[in-house]
Amino acid sequence: MGFFGFGKGEQKPFRVPKEVVELRMRIEVESREKFPSLARYQQLSKVAGTICQYLNDMVQKKDHPEEAARIRDDIKKKMEALGDKIKKNMQEAQKEVKQDYVESNIDYLERKSMRNNAKTAFTELLVKAEAFELFAKEGRFPHEGSIEVVVADLFASVTDLYNNYFKLHDEDKEIVALKEKTLQRLAELETVFNEHKTRFREKGMESNVEMYLNKSRLHE
List pLDDT tens digits, range 156-197.
Answer: 999 999 999 998 888 889 999 999 999 999 999 999 999 998
Residue 2 has what pLDDT? 47
Cα(120)–Cα(126) distance, integer angstroms: 10
Q: What is the pLDDT of residues 99-136, one digit of tens each?
A: 777 777 777 778 888 898 999 899 988 988 988 998 89
Find the length of the chain.
220
Amino acid identity at 105: N
Residue 24 has what pLDDT? 86
Cα(54)–Cα(154) distance, integer angstroms: 88
Nearest to 20 by CA among 58, 81, 85: 58
107 versus 8: the higher-pLDDT residue is 107
Residue 202 has what pLDDT? 87
Question: Is pLDDT at 219 greater than 60 in this prediction?
Answer: no
If you average pLDDT over each of 7-11, 148-152, 214-218, which comes out highest? 148-152
Q: How far is CA 137 from CA 73, 75, 129, 189, in A?
A: 95, 92, 12, 11
Amino acid identity at 114: M
Residue 218 has what pLDDT? 56
Q: At what angle do helices 147-161 and 173-195 cross, to 10 degrees?
A: 150
Cα(125)–Cα(185) distance, integer angstroms: 9
Q: What is the pLDDT of residues 40-92, one digit of tens each?
A: 889 889 999 999 998 999 889 888 889 889 999 999 999 999 999 988 888 88
HSE (side-chain half, CA atoms, 13 Å) at 154:
27
- Rg, the chain, Cα only: 40
Q: How far is CA 33 from CA 38, 40, 85, 86, 171, in A?
A: 12, 12, 10, 10, 42
pTM: 0.54
Measured in Å, how far apart are the chain's first and last C-alpha atoms? 89
Residue 220 has what pLDDT? 58
Residue 146 has what pLDDT? 81
Question: Is pLDDT at 10 greater than 60 in this prediction?
Answer: no
Nearest to 161 by CA among 205, 208, 114: 114
Q: Mean of the per-residue pLDDT values for the chain? A: 84
Please answer whether residues 164 and 218 qualify as being in contact, where contact means their C-beta atoms are separated by less than 8 angstroms: no
Cα(114)–Cα(123) distance, integer angstroms: 14
